[in-house]
Amino acid sequence: MRAAVVERPGAPEVLQVRHLPDPVARPGWVVVRVRAFGLNRSEMFTRQGHSGDAVRFPRVLGIECVGVVEDASDSGLAVGQTVAAVMGDMGRAYDGGYAEYALLPTQQVMPIDTDLPWSTFGAIPETFLTAWGSLVESMGVESGGTLLLRGGSSSVGMATATLAKHMGVTVIATTRQQSKAEALRENGADHVVIDDGEIAGRVRALCPGGVDYVSELVGPVTYADSARALRPGGIVCWVGILANVWDEDAIGDLPRGVRTVRYSSHVVTADGYTDTLQEIVRGVESGAYRANVHRVFTLNEIVEAHRYMEANHAVGKLVVVVP
């Protein structure tokens, strides 16, 4: 099979498409014929060498993929069944979705009924499950509330906005680039704030009492400023690290009376999330949610795809198809 292999950390050019032996199913593991996968910044961080001892090289990256079951092993799935797989240490502890075939733990493989194009389906699993988890599980977002979406043009940001609007939430989305503002509005954002690092005052001008919820996708460097836009008792959920800063000490002092939570898609398993993913897929099929596919690459273009991601050109999701 063909796969994009990282032999050692480095620039996008360390991703090399080469032939590897086809994986063989074993008890508790399923072979999936990969048809598409979304790109995620965590994969960029791993490629750059920021995952430490959690990842050993060489490694086939990819924390998600969609495709069909090639060998069901003892899973109870049917050969040819359309599936999505996400997280569970994919592309970190074992080879992930950047390949024609992937050997994946049964507990991470979700059977999904859909006729969506692979390029659209491939944009959904990690991005939308993260957005849904942060909104529903971590913050308990309710209709009528107001959400500040810090990092709104990212793939998770765009997914969060389209889900939140369907829930009846007012969305204030941020971006550092004026050129991306219109795309945020088209995706449903009620207000767009150009982010210069300090936006709490401008957000409060739009929502004088303070917002109810914050989805913090940029990370520790903007966390405290985002929290200052909250009403007393409001919730800030740390979801991402778009600024590439992990150190919690960078957060600084938080205002009194705000609640802080965190969401990580590491909790995702087939048992807990298949029904949710199926519901989201149906929402994309019906037009209730926007998949926001920004650009589609092929496996042979994986280096270019990582360059594009690293340059922050996208508004939404980058997807790689595997014919």
> Residue 144 maps to which CATH number?
3.90.180.10
Helix (H/G/I), strand (E/B), else coil: 196: coil
Closest CA relative to residue 38, chosen from 108, 115, 121, 114: 121
Same structural domain, 37 and 62: yes
User: What secondary structure letter does DSSP report for 248?
Assistant: G
Same structural domain, 11 and 118: yes
Same structural domain, 148 and 101: no
Range of the domain at 20: 2-124+291-321
**Residue 278 placed within a domain:** no
Contact 23, 101 (CB under 8 A): yes
Helix (H/G/I), strand (E/B), else coil: 19: strand
**Residue 286 placed within a domain:** no
pLDDT string in tens for the chain (323-residue length):
999 999 999 999 999 999 999 999 999 999 999 999 999 999 999 999 999 889 999 999 999 999 999 999 999 999 999 999 999 999 999 999 999 999 999 999 999 999 999 999 999 999 999 999 999 999 999 999 999 999 999 999 999 999 999 999 999 999 999 999 999 999 999 999 999 999 999 999 999 999 999 999 999 899 999 999 999 999 999 999 887 777 777 788 889 999 999 998 889 999 999 999 999 999 999 999 999 999 999 999 999 999 999 999 999 999 999 99
Same structural domain, 64 and 165: no
Same structural domain, 119 and 198: no
How many domains in the chain?
A: 2
